[in-house]
Amino acid sequence: MVSTAAPKMVYRYLGNSGLKVSLFSFGNWLNSMKQEDYEITRDAIKICLENGVNFFDTAEIYGMGAAETQMGKAFKELSIKREDIVVSTKIFRCGAGVNDTFLSRKHIVEGLRASLKRLETEYVDVVFCHRPDFETPLEETVRAMSYVIDQGMAFYWGTSEWPADRISKAIELCERLNLHKPIVEQPQYSMFWRSSFEKDYRRIFSEYKYGSTIWSPLAGGILTGKYNDGVAPEGSRFQNHIGYLAPHWDRWFGEKSKEANLKRLNGLAEYAKELGYSQAQLALAWAVANQDVSTCILGFTKIEQVTENLKALELYLKWDESIENRCKEILFNDPEADMDWRKWAPLPSRRSEATQNPKQ
């Protein structure tokens, strides 16, 4: 039996619920492409558990079911007590059939049943609608998500990469129909990808106490330090997949953005060294310093990355106003402020408010 005790880990409530999740969590999207990735998944889960991580995320579309199968197999091989972990999956697409995709009642119910079978569990703690579906009536989707909770297939449901107005509509519809409301969004968030999280979701965080399970906190590896000269090194993700990832590369290192982003990256590297941490650890600690983040999902391609990235918890526990302000100066990319029309003045940034709360 794997020990899940780790006194150093920080836990936060997942949105407006009584469910607590570890500040850092593990998602196995990166480990679903090849069969040999199973060993990384299993060993990463073991190390995560030993460090207090209790939240594990996957999706039916990751490897078209392979990621769920690997995660379920790892839980079984490691003899993990189901009650000790929080497991989530996401419904979007897993199959070539005309109804094997998106958010109809049919696909939500059948898709989740298939996910549970692959995960070798009777339920998931959280099931996400992986992307918005604007062709299926929203009422059909929220009724189906509420139904799978009533059937004991999941305890909570959430959204992933949904626009804030769609989330608000879903919550209000559930309130009106007396259905189980979504409690959490799974958005992208990092030092380089801030606007939607800090600006667009401001109201759902403040008014609904919506939770978040953020992904890509290292901006696809850009914030690790490997790309600080603006070149994709041999064997890196961008070097091997430059065709598929070309638009992402151009976003950070295109003609209009390269100079500013190289200045940011090298400034972060210098400051991280001054603090005694890696650039990646600084970026991860920065992400979770925002109290609107319930948990930060980490992905690993090498097993040594697990302990290295989890060390960001140490820096987070040291986080203070001086570190926050220094990062703010280096990044110089705060989203444009909303207006407080009663005072006819810009509102404080959501991040500035969320980083002032005491550590949990």
Residues annotated as part of the active site: 62
What are phi and psi for residue 180, nearest 5 degrees?
-70, 125
What are the DSSP calls for 146-190, one per residue?
Answer: HHHHHTTSEEEEEESS--HHHHHHHHHHHHHHT-PPP-EE--B-B
Residue with tokens 């810009």: 346
Dihedral angle over CA of 297, 301, 307, 308, nearest 10: -90
| Helical packing angle, 242-253 and 258-275, nearest 10° | 80
- The tokens for 79 are 């003899």
Length of the chain counted residue by residue: 360
**Cα(281)–Cα(299) distance, rounded to whole angstroms?**
14
Strands (E), 248-294: none
Task: State the burial class of residue 326 (Cβ atoms within 10 Å of its Cβ: 0-12, 13-18, 19+).
Answer: middle
Radius of gyration of the chain (CA): 20
